[in-house]
């Protein structure tokens, strides 16, 4: 994460906010629990991040009238612009990781991490 942290340090966005923005940019508006799962964040952590991200102009949130229990997040144009500003550098970092680690090993690692993310690890 060192190279990613260095990249993000230029914009004042931390890794967690970056993951939220990437999820919203790739998947579109999502309910909070979906964003948390996709960004590998605890829902409580995401909830604390929303107000600052709104005030920074990176996301908006709304409550659908058909289900007032839900909150849906959407990336703003400013959030999308931030992603685009770092797109080339982010791609370079990923390409360097893939070259150094090997594309087959990286693909296996990503598949294994996806499997791990899908597991229910709560105490039984």
Per-residue pLDDT tens over the stretch 44-103: 999 999 999 999 999 999 998 988 889 999 999 999 999 999 989 989 998 998 999 999
The answer to whether 76 and 58 are in contact (CB under 8 A) is yes
Q: Residue ranges per domain, the chain?
A: 2-118
Torsional sign, CA 50, 43, 111, 101:
positive
> How much is the pTM?
0.83
pLDDT of residue 8: 86
> Among 86, 13, 24, which Cα is nearest to 56's?
13
- Architecture of the domain whose range is 2-118: Orthogonal Bundle (1.10)
pLDDT of residue 76: 98
* H-state helical runs in 28-102: 32-38, 43-55, 77-101
pLDDT of residue 42: 92
Percentage of the chain with pLDDT > 70? 97
Check pLDDT > 70 for residue 124: no
């Amino acid at each position: 994460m060192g190279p990613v942290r260095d990249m993000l340090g230029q914009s004042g966005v931390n890794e967690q906010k970056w993951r939220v923005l990437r999820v919203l940019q790739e998947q579109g508006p999502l309910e909070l629990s979906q964003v948390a799962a996709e960004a590998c964040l605890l829902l409580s952590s995401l909830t604390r991040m929303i107000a600052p991200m709104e005030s920074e102009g990176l996301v908006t949130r709304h409550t659908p009238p058909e289900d007032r229990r839900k909150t849906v997040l959407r990336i703003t144009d400013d959030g999308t612009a931030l992603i685009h500003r770092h797109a080339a550098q982010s791609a370079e970092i990923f390409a360097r990781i893939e070259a150094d680690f090997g594309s087959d090993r990286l693909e296996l690692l990503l598949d294994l991490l996806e499997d791990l993310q899908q597991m229910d690890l709560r105490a039984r």
